[in-house]
Amino acid sequence: MVLRNNRLTSINNIPITIASSNKEQVINQLNNLNLTFTGAIDQSELFIDLNKKLGNLESKGTVSEDEISSILPMLENLTLGSDNRLECDFRMRSLKKKFKSSATVKQKMIKTVIMREQILQTINQSIDIDEVNEALIELNEKDYINLGKEGRLSVVEQIVQLKKNYHTEQELIEVLLEKCNYMNHLLDTLNSVKDRLEYILVLEKMKLPMYLSLSKEIKDKIVDHLIHPNTTFSSVSSLARAIQKTYQSMDIVTPTLNMKNQFERALLDVSE
């Protein structure tokens, strides 16, 4: 059937001239044709509608893949090469980039949440000092980072000894900052102390691993070197470096007691 004069009619009723030898074959081919048509699309109206939808997506902070896919059919109906099509193609590419960026941000957020949960799990379950220290560093708290390796290990030891189960990250951070403030308070006290015995007491309270690893004899020599009216320390890490430097300047063959390995590790880490 074909459309002729706005009426459907059989292909056999249309007058055509065909070579007799091929007539039957051609008619069979024509009868097997599927005729389709595409309705006319108002390009101006389509552009106005598409422009509105693109504008809505462009104004959003994030866009989803489904939102982008929903307007693709409209875009494909715009005439190729037209100014409107070129403009919409460009805006669509920008939206796709925005979607990829949004997806990346979402993935990072999910990764951060997982990491934070792992931090709490580590703090609540681990008693390994180095492992807990690495987990606390991931919190990226400036006060903790600025303590230096020795100060951080001292704080970690205190936190591990609490044997507290933290339910939220904020709860953990509050305890962490409390311990950091205590370390800085002890440093301020050390800077103002003039009495030798009190100076030693404050150093012991700070529990810096490299200092605790030494014998009383070596500790006394280090205190004698550090305690001076004009000597103050700007940070816990600067105090630890001063202890290290003083020890290294001594004529000592091996560290005393049974703390050699611990002290050697402290010397390697103190500058971190």
The SS3 of residue 99 is: helix
pLDDT tens string, the chain, 272 residues long: the values are 544 555 555 555 555 555 555 666 666 665 666 655 455 678 888 888 888 888 888 888 777 778 888 888 888 888 888 888 888 888 888 888 877 776 666 666 666 666 788 888 889 998 899 999 999 998 989 999 999 999 999 999 999 999 888 999 899 999 999 999 999 999 999 999 989 999 999 999 999 999 999 999 999 999 999 998 788 999 999 999 999 999 998 865 444 444 445 544 554 554 44
Q: What is the pLDDT of residue 241?
A: 94
Distances, alpha carbon 45 to alpha carbons 52, 77, 87, 160, 253, in Å: 11, 12, 15, 69, 90
Distances, alpha carbon 262 to alpha carbons 114, 151, 210, 213, 269, in Å: 33, 15, 7, 7, 11
- 78-111 residues labelled b (16+ CB within 10 A) or e (exposed): beeeeebbeebeebbeebeebbeebeeeeeeeee
Alpha helices in 35-82 (DSSP H): 43-58, 65-70, 72-76
| Prediction pTM value | 0.55
The SS3 of residue 3 is: strand
CA 60 to chain centre: 23
Q: Is there a contact between 132 and 123 (Cβ–Cβ < 8 Å)?
A: yes
The interaxial angle of helices 148-162 and 169-192, nearest 10 deg, is 120
Q: What is the pLDDT of residue 254?
A: 46
